[in-house]
């Protein structure tokens, strides 16, 4: 195998691995007395806790969209309260005015990165003996220039609250491997949460 072809195969394999996002749950909890809820037509606020205002705005927009395509009337919290967090009483008042029935909260709780590298080197059977080396050199031997890539894992806490009564209905901490960006991360987590709460009977399947 030529050095160029070997490098190309390594590059494609690494790219495919890095692009394959994957979300699983570390832990979940459901209130024992949580009622069966039907989000269709209900106004649900998407709240992302972050001090980065742009990231918060974008993430809430993506989360509100995910709530809406699942039947709820999803609203980004910042559109009701602004990007500066108001007091609890102010937030409650603005949510009440908008007819909000529940809140879905997301918060980053961890982000780990690991760099994986292979320095490359010689491969093949030609080095086993002088005879094989002498006879096979340039034919049965290949050289890899090596590669390096970064594995990323993001952990997100998701909480689902009803506002009347004010009660935590569901909580989960998830981890997502190698998300390509903020939108993909929110979409993957929202999809995983949606499947989990249906599995646990909080929302109808």
CA atoms within 13 A on the CB side of 184: 12
Enter the tokens of residue 21.
């996002």
Which positions ≥6 away from 48 have C-beta within 8 Å? 55, 56, 59, 60, 63, 77, 105, 106, 107
The reported pLDDT for the residue numbered 149 is 62
Q: Calculate the CA dihedral of residues 109, 110, 111, 117 and round it to 10 degrees.
A: -160
Domain ranges for the chain, please list them.
3-12+21-199
**Closest by alpha carbon to 148, among 120, 124, 176, 123?**
120
The reported pLDDT for the residue numbered 37 is 84
203, 120 Cβ separation under 8 angstroms = no
- What is the CATH number that goes with domain 3-12+21-199? 3.40.50
Q: Is 27 helix (H, G, I), strand (E, B) or coil?
A: strand
* Cα–Cα distance list, 119 to 13, 122, 143, 203 (Å): 17, 10, 11, 50
**Closest by alpha carbon to 28, among 194, 167, 147?**
194
150, 116 Cβ separation under 8 angstroms = yes
Sequential pLDDT tens for the chain (205 residues): 433 323 322 332 333 333 334 899 999 999 999 888 888 899 999 999 999 999 999 999 999 999 999 999 999 999 999 998 899 999 999 999 999 999 999 999 998 877 666 655 555 555 555 555 555 555 555 555 556 667 789 999 999 999 999 999 999 999 999 998 999 999 999 999 999 999 999 987 6
Pairing, β 43-49 against β 100-118? parallel
Query: How distant is the alpha carbon of residue 128 from its chain centre?
Result: 47
Pairing, β 166-177 against β 22-30? antiparallel
């Amino acid at each position: 195998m030529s050095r160029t072809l070997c490098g190309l195969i390594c590059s494609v394999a690494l790219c495919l691995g890095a692009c394959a996002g994957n979300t699983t749950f570390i832990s979940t909890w459901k209130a024992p007395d949580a009622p069966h809820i039907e989000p269709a037509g209900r106004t649900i606020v998407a709240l992302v806790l972050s001090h980065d205002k742009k990231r918060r705005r974008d993430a809430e927009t993506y989360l509100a969209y995910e709530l809406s395509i699942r039947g709820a009337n999803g609203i980004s919290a910042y559109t009701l309260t602004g990007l500066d967090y108001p007091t609890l009483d102010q937030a409650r008042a603005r949510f009440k005015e908008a007819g909000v029935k529940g809140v879905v909260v997301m918060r980053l709780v961890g982000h780990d990165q690991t760099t994986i590298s292979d320095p490359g080197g010689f491969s093949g059977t030609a080095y086993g003996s002088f005879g094989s080396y002498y006879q096979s050199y340039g034919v049965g031997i290949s050289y890899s220039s090596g590669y390096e890539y970064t594995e990323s894992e993001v952990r997100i806490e998701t909480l689902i609250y009803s506002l009347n009564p004010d009660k935590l209905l569901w909580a989960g901490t998830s981890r997502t491997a190698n998300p390509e960006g903020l939108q993909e991360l929110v979409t993957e987590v929202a999809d995983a949460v949606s499947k989990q709460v249906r599995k646990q009977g909080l929302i109808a399947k």
